[in-house]
Structure 1
Amino acid sequence: MLALLGLSFFAGFTALLCVADDLNDKADQHSVLLLDKAFASREESMRFHLSDNAEWGEAYDNLHLTLNLDWAWRNQNLGESLFQTFGYEGVFVIGPDGRTRYSVLNGRLQRQSIEAWLGQDSLKRLTDLLRQNDGNALSRLLVAGGQVALVGAAWITPGGDRSVDSVEDAHSVMIFIDRLTPAKLENMGDEYGIKKLTYAASQDIHLYRVPTMGGTVMLKWQSDNPGGALLTWLLPLLVLMMCGTFFTAFMLMRNALRKARHSDVSTFLLEQSQQALTASEQRFRDVAETITDWIWEADAQLCFTWISGRFPAVTGYHSQAWLGQPLHRFLLDDIDLLPRLAQHDETGEPVILSRCRYRSAQQHIRFCNLTLRPVMLAHGKRGYRGTATDVTLEVEAEARVKYLSQFDELTGLPNRAQMNACLAGKLNGTLHGDCPLAVIMIDLDKFKPVNDLYGHAAGDSVLHDVSARFNACLNEAGMTARLGGDEFIMIVFDANSREEIEELCRRIIAQINLPFAINGGEVFIGASLGVALAPEDADNPGDLLRYADIALYKAKNAGRNNWVFFQRDMGEKIVQRREMERELREAIQTDQLRLAWQPRYDVRSARVTAVEALVRWHHAQHGILMPDQFIPLAEETGLISVLSDWVLHRACADARRDLRDLAVSVNLSAVEFRDKGLPKRIRTALELTGLPSHRLEIEVTENAMLQDPDTTLEVMLAIKALGVKFLIDDFGTGYASLSYLHTFPFDGIKIDKSFIFPLNDSSQAHQIVENMVGLGKAYSLTITAEGVETARQMELLQKLECDALQGYYIGKPQPLEEIVAAYCISSEAV
């Protein structure tokens, strides 16, 4: 006890010291934050003064174009007031040649270079930093003469004065220098509640490191020491409390020893009670070995003499109603228990009866496991004691599992296992070509919208009705099985001819096309069927199912709601498609894709202002593949997202690195706008490549607005919030409503080349293009004409006030190097 108290007070003293130390640390941290704020405020003030004096049309005339000392010094536009008012010891004007043209030192006009006055050459680094900052005012700290000096610099520009003609290739630099003397440091510290702030050696405490261009300077100050004040008040109180606690503990221990002696008297009484508990413990052990659900006792004739309170909850009967009743009357099975139990009387081993049937009070058949054991009851009479465990749920679950192993739970149709067994059995028999066995694989069309719109309960109801219609069509001539979801297999036995199978397929589609009643309304779905025949196509279950699946795929691609018989060449086409999918996936991973860049000519500025990134697949066997040869495959297989990410990252990276200020447009598939994660993917591409968002344009066809327009609008608005622009590609060839031009956040339209080609010879084409341009102008959209291939077309489109032109006459899709050479400066200059 004393050790615990000692440890507690030791922890208290340690905690107090830690708190005091922590208070001092936090006070020092607060002082450091204030110093950071003080330096930041001083730098901000200097940048403000620089901007006020450097971004000025008169300063540009009198300091950059010419040096007018009357204006600068005598008229006090850049004179001793900067020293008297703001304390700037050094004011310099550096000419474009790097020489000091004008300087005011300590409020006096003196002709001295900045390098000589500072004692170091920092001008080159300042000019480099200014170039990176586009000449805007900046400030830096440097070490000069063992003290910190705040140096600010800015280009001298006309600012907003449009009356002054500026020269872009040469810049004069205005520099302000504020030396932080010990007096200035102390005044700055007093302003922020920091006492005696001054320069320090590295071994001093309370150091503040000031990073500068010439090294690191250390500052020190006088700490407030709140931890010391805390120790002065609390430490004596804690010592007094410790002394009082130890005295109280000593008195309590004396009292505890006295009570321990009195407790020894109770030991004798505890020993007397142990004998009374021995008999009850023996009974408890017997019960604990066999306890499961409800417990009972019976006499030698197996008539109940005692039943536990769990009995009514399990069986529904009152315990009193069965006292005196024999056990075999409770059980439905005619079991002769007494002869069997007589064999176990001598050994005393329990008898276990599994899954005995009985009828509950609600007249339900239930099952239980009985455990019986011969025992000696009160007054020396022989009898039995046992337990009964209700296993009704277990028996029902096994029956349920057995059923589900052969049948589908929802529809009651045979499942895949029973279908495979049936098909294998039929194929093991004798098959005749004139009476083929047909395997029809069925997939429901337009079933997913039923689940999405009406819920899964409605979808389950439709599947149940579908299974009933399948059975009605088959009419005991075969088996219908459900594979899962909305896929079914129908096995047709002993079909007389191929025409009979076709008639069955026609009947199935006709039945499925009939309306289904849901929630007081009607829904319509369809079905696609793939048929494989045995022994014509195959004579084993695996091949038949695979061929039926291939035929089903062909039926769905052929327009759905029809049937297709398997043909040998179908398998080869599926293999070719899968091989193409594998090669496309590999092409994305192994850098087989390339970008071609097509310029877009801006009519107003008469120059190329944007390029369109077009993807090409450099296939090892087939050569260069165009987008229309592999984009549909990417959309079908789900590779379109990976492909789009590759194009986005590559286009943004190349544009940021090599294309200077040209805008870059990227085509995205219409299916991409169903993905709500698309805005995040575009933001990631912009962040990783560093391309400004206003330089990226997304081109999308009109069809994107027809599929789930609400989701498409939500995705487009999220992308638009990033600063990215949207253009409608191939305008005029889709089926979108013109109202979408107002609803969706488009910035421009690109008139499809099919309207531009006949422009020279057709007045009707000329009128259509003119109307398209007028429509775009009415919605404040930029108009781009695609497919411009002649000078005459370019001339006509300029007269129609098209904003931009694109086509082979402007420039064909070219590699990046040719685009850079033709329209951009070199990457090194950038």
Structure 2
Amino acid sequence: MAAPLSPIRSSDTGRRASLLDSLEKSELGWFWASDEAGRLIYLSEPALDRIAEIEGHLIGKQLVDIFEDDVGTEAGSPHRPLKFQFAARNSLRPTIVKIRTGAKTAWWEISGAPRLSKSGKFCGYHGIARDVTASIASQRDAEKLSRFDSLTGLSNRHRITQKLDTTLDAFRAAKRSCAIMLLDLDRFKQVNDTLGHPAGDELLKQLAARLKRLVGERGEIGRLGGDEFQIILPDIEDRGELGELAQRIIEMVSQPYSVNGVRAVVGCSIGVAIAPFDGIECQELIKAADLALYASKGGGRGQYRFYSSDLRDQAIHRHQIEEDLRDALSREELEMYYQPIVSATDHKVVCFEALMRWHHPERGQVSPAEFIPVAEEVGLIREMGEWAIHDVCKRVASWPANVRAAINVSAVQFASDDLIDTVRNALKSSGADPARIELEITESVFVGDIDRALRMFRDLKRLGVRLALDDFGTGYSSLSYLRDAPFDKIKIDQSFVRGCTEDGNNNGAIVSAVVSLAQALKMETVAEGVETKDELEAVIEHGAMSIQGALFSRPQPASVVEERFETGELVYEMLGPEKFRSDRRTEFRKIGLVHENSRYQVFLRNLSKSGAKIEGLLDVPVDTDVVLDLGGGQLVVATVRRSQGYSQGVEFETQLISDGADGLCTRHRVSPYQIEAAGRPLRALNDDEVTTYTGASSAGEKRFMEVDLVADRENSH
């Protein structure tokens, strides 16, 4: 039996030194020591070699200058700063410190204990250290992956939501505002489907870089997943500033991307909500921005929208539209209306554009702007488009031989492989001359697989139909499209026609350039949306060959059009006004008006950025100052400039701004913080509380007499 090993005695210094030397060389741990003044007096040679990049000599330097606190990493329980612990001469539990090595940084775990003399005097520290750089780097990579999107480097959903939550908590206490934008890419799925997911990933990386450049230090950007992004913008409540930023983002995102040598184009829709106006808590604000985003996509995409309380009602209405639309075809509620396209020279009709209308049994006429986006979103547009092609071809077969019909083909329908067969079958079953059928296609069909689009064009031309490029210049225009695609006609969008008569407006030059381009390519041109005689003169002067718009006729049922064929009335007379007027919205809704301490109910009629027409008060003197309550905390200071009977024209002290779609709004609103200071609980804007906040009463003696216009209208019928 072997004798037991004897313990190492303190006198066996040689053997002890050998063991310690072996431990140091194995790099499992190093030793360090300091003197009573906190200066390093010893460090294992392998450790010195490891950090040889440091300039100068470590020996003799203060420990607090060598070992830095690392707040980003904890070992064990939280610890006090090293400077405090060294000064207090405490024992050091395992602590992570940073070691600066020139341009690099290393992390060590150190521990130590104070050395005391026999008399109990402090003589310095002795301790051990080990390099934990690799594990710290791995740990921090894992932390970053849990907080940041691995593809774009932006904050991920968890981090950006947490950031918004903490920001709103802090800002609520400080009475500060915070805006968020939700971004959703339009047509990104087409890029993925046609170019592949790696191409889609590359596009997202480029897009993230663009967003970082544009937003800069003003906010924080996060990727929520897929093609959805969120931007937090602290201390911004001016909707004018937010609208300008949103528009710049939309324009920047919509610029073409080069992905693996292929040109790809996407769009962007944005919803904007602002705390505390639209929500106090994180989820409340996100829901508000999400409703605004939904409204912007439903409005035609490529738009931004601010949240307003009526968007909740619109979302419910949109859901009902979707439900009812599924049965609209089978119930024969859909009908094609026809708007004439006339010759610019003699105003004789050359073509009719077929436009779908929906006669709802309860709601009456439903606007195409409401149901077409829903149909595209839920996949009904292909079935509806197929029905439209068959219906129009059947009509055209009985029309005069010199009149054509144009049918809109959505990008969703164009992407279907069934389109060629649908057109072929409709022509065959109706007996319509293919040369009298025009298919109007927007530039969005070029997003993604351009080669496929060009093949589709060639196949359609083989059937003998004509092709028109609709809304030219508003989407993804490229001269290569016009060079390669066999279009017969270019339709100049009404956004270029509108305002082309105004001095200093470049729209006229754009119309002229498009016409010249079309002529060079031997294509016809149609100016869309012509509403006034001066617009007609302008587009004719710029060379447009055909005209379409309310100046000659709005869309009409097929029966009305066919009555004209029977009587031979193929020339349309001008019906519109003489001159174009700047944007002015015709409304008839009730709003509040405050004068002195009295509150009145009036009707808002025409509304523009600089003023409005109101009705409902008798004999209000010119130059009277009033405040209009447009709802949603929007108070507008105005002065009466015209007054006749119960009608007044008012001029705004501060102009309204665009709400991103077709509406107007104020830059600023009554802040919930102001309402809270008046004794009300803090919550998102509420019209009743805003009314109370104004301090004006509907009761008591009033200076002006109110007129009940609704009753007057009912009595007049």
The TM-score bracket by the shorter chain reads: 0.3 to 0.5
- Normalising to structure 1: TM-score of the pair? 0.33
- Normalising to structure 2: TM-score of the pair? 0.37
RCO greater where, 1 or 2, for CA within 8 Å and sep 6 or more?
2
